[in-house]
A and B are shown apart, each in its own frame.
Chain A
Amino acid sequence: MKTLVLSEDAFSGIQSDPILHEGFGRWRIDTQLTSPKTHLERWITPISSAVTYLLLRSQVTPTRPTIDFDPFRPELLAATPSPAGQFMNRWFVSYFTKEASDERRIERAKFEEVESCWTERVGKYFTSLFLETRDEDFYDGGTSGLGKGIERALLFYGTEAVDALRTVFGLSWVSDEQRTEALRVIGRTKYSTSHEHRRQFLEECLFSESPTVRDGAAIGLSLLRDPRSHAALMNAIEREPIAVLKRDMVLLLPDLADV
């Protein structure tokens, strides 16, 4: 196995990232991560996590872009990583060190089993998150507990998180305040692996029955700034029955056209 060495610059990026800093703080990421082979095993979890992060942030998409641990079970982080984590650790190392492909194939099969459990897990996570934040107040530009939780799930669960959010949005006890906050966060988040799913979900919400949700979706799309959503927003504007909301949506159109 080759030694995996990542630059200090890469890790200073993680340190300055508010989401990652919180998540990776548990592993005390520091310059020791440029460790030689003898220390590789000790640091394998943070290293592979960091690689995941760097892939997400650098718009590079590996063949199976996903995560290497369950961030919502700290007890696993403190000790041995979950089976999924163990697999992903090995997967990332093999990805970068070109280990034997036979072993990779076997492990990929194991991964398929693990992955199916994640969708269910992230669904439970969101249900719990939305319940806990029902009484939270949201402000434009503010950092809410709900927003942080959604960002974290998007980072670690990617597209599965968007699918789970779609389900949670259908629950009757979820408030429109929460939904619109979630839509802003979905638009603001930069993780490339879930970009398409997030864009599609925002476009769907442009046609929600709730005007508050339609407003949140329009703002989310203007934060996402993907010109491909221009036509969907135009369509929503044409169909919007509330004059003031229609005008606000029109004001957001240039954000999609001028990227």
Chain B
Amino acid sequence: MTNETPTLDQVLDLAHKLPREQRGQLISRLVLELTTDAPPARTPMTPDEARAALNEIREHLRTLPQPRLTAGEQLEADRRGRERALLGRWADQHEEDDVHP
């Protein structure tokens, strides 16, 4: 899935990967949201559902084309990018400083 706004087919494709019970929950939540015109409160996943969802994300990341940053590398790049945005060129120049108090 690579678009800014996912298509209906992409959402359905993802929904079909959910266990049967979660597909039912998804339908219920969407119906409630449409009939009340407001997003319902989020129902927390059970720990088992969370582990299953985590595994699904892992499998998706495993299939992404290489070479690429890993999730951890992306996160660290984001942190460094934020620092560069704050400090400009000084961020890189000070990266190796040892400034222990």
Q: Do A and B come from one complex?
A: no
